[in-house]
Chains A and B, each alone.
Chain A
Amino acid sequence: MNNYYIKRTGRAVLTLWVTVTLTFGLIRAIPGGPLEMLRARLVRQGVDPSRIDAIIQSRQQESQPIYVEYYEYMSSLLSGNLGESFYFREPVSDIIIDALPWTVFVMVTATIILFAIAVVWGALIAYKEGSTFDTASSGLSILLSSVPFYVLGILFVVVFSYKFGVFPARYRTSPGISPELSFLFIQDALYHAALPIASVVITQVGLQTLAMRGNSIQVLGEDFVRVARLRGLSDRRIATRYVGRNAILPMYTGFLTLIGFNLGGSVILEEIFTYTGIGYYMFEALINRDYPLMMGIFLVITTALVLSVYIADLTYGLIDPRVKSGDSNEAY
């Protein structure tokens, strides 16, 4: 049992290390760089060439052997130093600390909501398998899943923000509202997050609903459900402890990994809604060739994914007794 946790932890750490190293190598392999970008911009702005050279020179670091760079990169990473953003002229860690909670808030909320809907909806469809409700719901699920979230997001901005003006088109909060634990702040934050959350929920709920439907139909056909009915258990208990619980089990890992994936998927979403989370900054970093920021956010996203799989592995035994001993049972 302990062996299992040690193995999972080891694997998570190893994955992170590989990602960090790959990132390090990739960034160096990309042609061009922030200085080229800066030079091009300065040239376009018509700055005097000698001044440009001076500016570039002042930012240029002495090049060192690659293993020294790698060592410094790793040690500063471990001390939480992700370098400084070229474009925003701020430490990358400060930007991430400011932006990450918002992205996590939007994506975790959206994923929880969409799973809650999917579990209930899918189970209901399964109970009514073959009915018109089933056909209509399954059709709707497939239709919704085939709409990309960014298309729906743009549609939302156009319709709800510009045409009717019922929802804000940009930013995390209204100007002048400071982040504090007040009703006004929470209300304003939810108001601004509503459209991004809605576009994620609506476009992702369909697939999960179909998954839940399939699982539930399978569990409903199990002998133990029939025996439970004969034993006289209440319909409610059978629906929750027997059908529900056993149908949700395979979705639990999917739920946690989807949170991880959605954090990565925030890049386009936050750009559409000009929602300044890590996705938004990632987009800005890409456009401006801001490598330190790009790397920092990339690391955060991979860490989130590795972490969510890790958490799924560690906690799966709590919801499924069969994995408690965990010899060869791996959730993902």
Chain B
Amino acid sequence: MAIDQTTDRRVYSADDPIIEIRNAAVTYDEGRSYVLDHVSLELERGEILGVVGESGSGKSMLASSLLDAVPSPGHLTGEITYRPDGKAPINILELEKADRRSLRWEDISMVFQGAMNSFNPTLDLRTHFEETLRAHDADIKKGLGRAEELLEDLYLEPDRILDSYPHELSGGMQQRALIALSLVLDPDVLVMDEPTAALDLLMQRSILLLLSDLQEKYNLTMVFITHDLPLVAALADRMAIMYAFRLVEIGDTRDIVENAAHPYTRALLNSTPNLDAPLSEMQPIDGQSPAPINMPTGCAYHPRCPLATEECRTEVPDYHEVETDHGSACYHWQASYDEVPLLHENSPGDTTGGVDE
């Protein structure tokens, strides 16, 4: 079984990476526990990567790490390299304060979950755009022109939005305005941390549509972080599954959805609510995901995994190459096909209906 175990970076590597993450780890207690446990990942220029995981699996930590913006007093170690097109690579974690300030938003930008709280309630939106432009010494007039174009791309009326205060906009409008604000400095990479969590289903879908349009028009690389696997499957080129602060499976969206090779991913697919599936067919995963201070030895999923063996309990599995560019951090990925059968036929996009059409 260990023959196909791969310790090199083949499964998560990209041909033309815009960001390389090596062993990124976040700790809040000097290394006794990790809320992001030595994750390695490469981001292909121009792709949309979906990162899926339960609440408290370390997704937001991964997102914040890309901007070196882990909430204080967290400590981020490892290596995160940003490779701008045609320029020298930048080691994000070793930047001076001023350089880091200009990297954020100019090169790598971020949309947080909860757009409702991302604007200062006492300032109108024009001020938000202007102060951002000013803070980065950008041309205000040109920047506002770009802001108006972005807002129009997102089907908002620029004049009305810019003259509004946050509370005068609906949740969906705030979310779109926040996306426009995050793109106002023309970044290369947009990290989105649960950008649709607070929105209703219809709004989620229309935002996804807009995002894929934006991605094409502005040639963005996107990281889309969510707990909603079917939602991101309709949008992402590649997907990474997180469990207990580690990445457990990575691969092309189609491979993950149709041919998941990690028992957790397969169980996650089976547990995902589906409007067409009767309630009795849904299968929750028994047990609960571990807390960072109480991590199981070996594979963190072994207490809940039907395939767990002695090996799983002692050794943390490395990626096993399922196919080219599809890796699963499981010793028994082959057995998972039979042991954890998928309950419904999945294909990327079917659950978010209409996005692919």
Using a CB–CB distance below 8 Å, which chain A residues touch chain B?
A: 222-224, 226-234, 237, 241-242, 245-246, 249, 319-322
Chain B residue at minimal CB-CB distance from A243: B120
On whether the beta carbons of A321 and B121 are closer than 8 Å, the reply is yes
Q: Which of B102, B119, B122, B124 lies in contact with A232, CB distance below 8 A?
A: B102
Chain A residue at minimal CB-CB distance from B132: A231
13 other A-B residue contacts (CB within 8 Å) besides A232-B102, A234-B135, A322-B121: A224-B118, A224-B119, A230-B105, A230-B110, A231-B181, A232-B104, A232-B105, A232-B136, A233-B135, A241-B120, A246-B122, A321-B124, A321-B165
B123 contacts partner chain A, Cβ-Cβ < 8 Å: yes
Q: Which of A222, A230, A234, A322 lies in contact with B117, CB distance below 8 A?
A: A222
On whether the beta carbons of B69 and A230 are closer than 8 Å, the reply is yes
Given A230-B69, A231-B105, do A223 and B112 touch, yes or no (CB 8 Å)?
yes
B167 contacts partner chain A, Cβ-Cβ < 8 Å: yes
Q: Could you name 13 residue pairs across A and B whose Cβ atoms are closer than 8 Å?
A: A223-B114, A226-B69, A226-B71, A229-B69, A231-B132, A231-B135, A232-B101, A232-B105, A232-B136, A233-B135, A237-B131, A242-B120, A322-B121
Residues of chain A lying within 8 A (CB to CB) of residue B117: 222-224
Using a CB–CB distance below 8 Å, which chain B residues touch chain A?
A: 67, 69, 71, 101-102, 104-105, 110, 112, 114, 117-124, 131-132, 135-136, 165, 167, 181
The 3 closest A-B pairs by CB, nearest first: A223-B117, A232-B135, A321-B165
On whether the beta carbons of A233 and B165 are closer than 8 Å, the reply is no
Measured in the bound complex, the distance between the Cα atoms of B110 and A226 in whole Å is: 11
Measured in the bound complex, the distance between the Cα atoms of B132 and A249 in whole Å is: 24
How many A-B pairs fall under 8 Å by CB? 63
Measured in the bound complex, the distance between the Cα atoms of B114 and A108 in whole Å is: 41
Residues of chain B lying within 8 A (CB to CB) of residue A237: 131, 135
Residues of chain B lying within 8 A (CB to CB) of residue A319: 122
Chain B residue at minimal CB-CB distance from A231: B132
Residues of chain B lying within 8 A (CB to CB) of residue A321: 121-122, 124, 165, 167
On whether the beta carbons of A228 and B120 are closer than 8 Å, the reply is yes
Residues of chain B lying within 8 A (CB to CB) of residue A242: 120
On whether the beta carbons of B121 and A246 are closer than 8 Å, the reply is yes
On whether the beta carbons of B120 and A246 are closer than 8 Å, the reply is yes
Chain A residue at minimal CB-CB distance from B164: A321
Measured in the bound complex, the distance between the Cα atoms of B124 and A303 in whole Å is: 36
Measured in the bound complex, the distance between the Cα atoms of B129 and A233 in whole Å is: 11
Residues of chain B lying within 8 A (CB to CB) of residue A246: 120-122
Residues of chain A lying within 8 A (CB to CB) of residue B124: 321
Measured in the bound complex, the distance between the Cα atoms of B110 and A233 in whole Å is: 15
Given A224-B117, A230-B67, do A322 and B102 touch, yes or no (CB 8 Å)?
no
On whether the beta carbons of A322 and B167 are closer than 8 Å, the reply is yes
